[in-house]
């Protein structure tokens, strides 16, 4: 069943977007947000210490479109959310707040800060995390809210597509074991078996388009002091959150008619080294927290072997710095687990 024929009220959604030296992508993302059919949303955009003039570019763009975003108002009116040191709201209109952080808080820290700001508004019922290099389809928010309310799901992901007319590249994982399989394989098998479904139950929702209920966010912060674990910094945060939530009885789903376009990009060796470091390290930390023996030891063996094979491939393709980062990530993950012992838990 689609939202198109439903008569319902529209709970407020705070759409959280982070920017780091990527204002061009961010503006394209905001242009797609302008086309949303959902009537009750506000964007919280946090700049993570950009040095490329992002803040100025974004401010000027927003101020040139008062018909879409509203006119500037009091920065703190009705909002006394605590922000990290060096972070402050610099622009606030009817539909958008821009927060500038002097330092890069990472994905986890940036999302946490934006979430605190969003939930200081008692009218916000959901937060929706959207990658700045992604584009939302017009009905993306309507569909995730519809699924959240009709099936009682506190975590709802959008289906991730490479681009219009391409089909889904990721729509969540149905079990932890699926982490051992390449994404296209599990998607092909699952969606073929469930043709016509509006939503599917999953164990992990896509982090590049993810809706969370206010209830879940409050319980998570009360239990851990944060929404996303700052230790992870980059990559694996949504997996950690989803596994934590499932252990506490929350339902996670993907709304298949809520489409987010997120293109794969070619990145330089320096950025790839950073990505591979955190993937190698963080998957060890997350599985060490949430998966019990003997399964986690099997995952450790598979993960380490797989990452070492990747490191070898980076070496023979002329990118030794990426290979070194993979090995550093594995080493740091293993050493962290060893220091904390079998009782290690992410905060």
Nearest by Cα to 176 from 342, 308, 338, 292: 292
Question: What one-character DSSP code corresponds to residue 8?
Answer: -
For the chain of 347 residues, list the mean pLDDT of each consecutive stretch of 10. Answer: 54 98 96 97 97 96 95 71 88 94 94 95 97 97 97 94 72 55 48 67 88 98 94 89 93 92 80 93 90 85 94 94 96 89 51
Q: What is the pLDDT of residue 114?
A: 97
CATH 3.40.1030.10 fits 3-261, yes or no: no
pTM: 0.88
Q: E-strand spans in the chain?
A: 12-19, 41-48, 87-92, 96-101, 124-130, 135-136, 155-161, 168-170, 199-201, 209-213, 252-261
Q: What is the pLDDT of residue 341?
A: 60
* Measured CA angle at 233 (ends 232, 238), to 5 deg: 65
Q: Where in the chain is the domain with CATH 3.90.550.10?
A: 3-261
Do the strands 41-48 and 12-19 form a parallel or antiparallel pair, or are they unpaired?
parallel
Q: What is the pLDDT of residue 225?
A: 92
């Amino acid at each position: 069943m689609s939202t198109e024929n439903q008569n319902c009220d529209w709970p407020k959604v705070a759409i959280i977007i982070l920017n780091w030296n990527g204002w061009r992508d961010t503006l394209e993302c905001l242009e797609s947000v302008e086309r949303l059919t959902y009537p009750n949303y506000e964007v919280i955009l946090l700049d993570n210490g950009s040095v490329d003039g992002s803040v100025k570019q974004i401010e000027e763009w927003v101020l040139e479109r008062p018909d879409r975003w509203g006119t500037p108002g009091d920065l703190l009116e009705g909002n006394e959310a605590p922000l990290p040191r060096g972070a402050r709201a610099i622009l606030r209109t009817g539909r958008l707040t821009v927060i500038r952080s002097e330092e890069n808080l990472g994905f986890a820290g940036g999302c946490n800060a934006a979430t605190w700001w969003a939930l200081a508004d008692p009218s916000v019922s959901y937060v929706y995390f959207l990658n700045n290099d992604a584009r939302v389809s017009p009905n993306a928010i309507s569909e995730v809210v519809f699924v959240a309310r009709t099936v009682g799901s506190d975590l709802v992901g959008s289906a991730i597509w490479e681009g219009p007319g391409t089909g889904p590249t990721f729509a969540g994982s149905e079990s932890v074991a699926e982490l051992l399989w390449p994404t296209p394989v599990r998607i092909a098998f699952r969606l073929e078996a469930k043709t016509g479904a509006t939503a599917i139950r999953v164990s992990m929702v896509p982090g590049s388009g993810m809706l969370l209920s206010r209830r879940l966010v409050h319980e998570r912060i009360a239990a851990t002091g944060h929404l996303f674990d700052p230790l992870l910094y980059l990559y694996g945060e949504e997996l950690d959150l989803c596994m934590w939530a499932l252990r506490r009885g929350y339902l996670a789903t993907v709304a298949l008619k809520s489409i987010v376009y997120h293109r794969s990009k070619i990145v330089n060796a320096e950025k790839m080294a950073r990505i591979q470091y955190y993937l190698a390290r963080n998957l060890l930390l997350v599985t060490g927290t949430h998966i019990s023996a003997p399964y986690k030891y099997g995952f450790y063996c598979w993960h380490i072997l797989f990452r070492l094979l990747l490191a070898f491939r980076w070496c023979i393709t002329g990118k030794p710095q990426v290979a070194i980062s993979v090995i550093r990530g594995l080493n740091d993950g293993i050493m962290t687990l060893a220091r904390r012992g079998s009782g290690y838990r992410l905060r």
